[in-house]
Amino acid sequence: MPDKPSFPETADIETSSDGYATRFSGATGKWFLDVQERIVHAMLKDRNCRETSVLDVGGGHGQLAIPLCRDGYRVTVVASDESCRKRIAGIIDAGQCSFTEGNLIELPFKANSFDVTLCFRLLTHCTQWQKLVSELCRVSRQSVIVDYPAQRSFNAVIPLLFGAKKKIEKNTREWTNFKHSDILAEFAAHGFVPTQRKAQFFLPMALHRALKVRGLSAGMEAFCRITGLTALLGSPVIIHMRRRNETLDFRP
């Protein structure tokens, strides 16, 4: 039997694992995912879900595939290994979601195959992230939505505290922080411009995990949003990019 193909970018195997899912367990973890889901739903609110095809690149973690399938979107998850289907097996087996194994930086789809492409928990761990962005743009007819940790945030000092962060989160990995301008420039090279950018939290997620008190964390973050701190220095960031001829007004 021939060996399985060895793809150059396989960070999604870890983010699709049961161990990684523990980072989002408990009340605080569910709150993290609720915030993320709420922002993405708002970015898709102008679409008819049943007429919208979505490609979730590296989405075996199910953080968005599961709620989007629940709402009626036509979702395909592409992952670098068959093992990444485990956490979304329920929606795949129910016929609500398609699953494809393939090279994430040479996606096995024709250009303009999907209305929207998503990529969460992956860009920051992808060594060839520029190639990943180019593929997200190539296969999307209209929009790309991605998340990334912002350099202009608490993330600027977290590398100095990486040891402490690892003690709290146990399975944290090294990652890349991005300048907003670098992300925008890479998408612009492929004809995409921003329409919305939303930061999820002002305080580090590791702090909220350490506190383990959802109400307290939500209250602190509400204060940070109201005072403008989150918009100015928040992270991770979710950004909605559209093809230039599809662009609406940009809403930071």
Contact yes or no for 24/68 (Cβ under 8 A): no
Helices 129-139 and 180-188, interaxial angle, to 10°?
50
pLDDT digits (tens, 9 = 90+) for 27-37: 999 999 999 99
- What proportion of the chain, given as a percentage, has pLDDT over 70? 87
Nearest to 75 by CA among 91, 100, 57, 55: 55
Q: What phi and psi, each to the nearest 5 degrees, are found at residue 168?
A: -75, -45
**pLDDT grade, residue 6 (50/70/90)?**
confident
Predicted confidence (pLDDT) at residue 238 exceeds the cutoff of 90: yes
SS3 224: helix
The CA distances from residue 219 to 199, 216, 238, in Å, are 16, 5, 21
Q: Name the burial class of residue 12, with classes exposed (0-12), middle (13-18) and buried (19+) by CB atoms within 10 angstroms of its CB.
A: buried
Residue 245: its pLDDT value, please? 79
Predicted confidence (pLDDT) at residue 3 exceeds the cutoff of 90: no
The CA distances from residue 163 to 160, 210, 222, in Å, are 8, 14, 28
pLDDT digits (tens, 9 = 90+) for 99-154: 999 999 999 999 999 999 999 999 999 999 999 999 999 999 999 999 999 987 76
Q: What is the set of domains in the chain, with CATH numbers? A: 12-244 (3.40.50.150)
**pLDDT grade, residue 1 (50/70/90)?**
very low
**pLDDT grade, residue 155 (50/70/90)?**
low
Residue 165: its pLDDT value, please? 45
Contact yes or no for 63/121 (Cβ under 8 A): yes
The rounded mean pLDDT for the chain is 90
pTM of structure? 0.90
> In angstroms, what is the C-alpha Rg of the chain?
17
Q: What residues have CB less than 8 Å from 100, skipping those under 6 apart?
A: 76, 77, 78, 79, 108
Give the tokens for residue 140: 């999307």
Q: What is the separation of C-alpha 48 from the centre of its chain, rounded to a whole number of angstroms?
A: 21
Between CA 43 and CA 241 the distance in angstroms is: 10
Predicted confidence (pLDDT) at residue 169 exceeds the cutoff of 80: no
Nearest to 99 by CA among 115, 82, 111: 82
Tell me the three-class secondary structure of 104-138, residue by residue.
Answer: CCCCCCCCCCEEEEEECCCHHHCCCHHHHHHHHHH
Predicted confidence (pLDDT) at residue 56 exceeds the cutoff of 90: yes
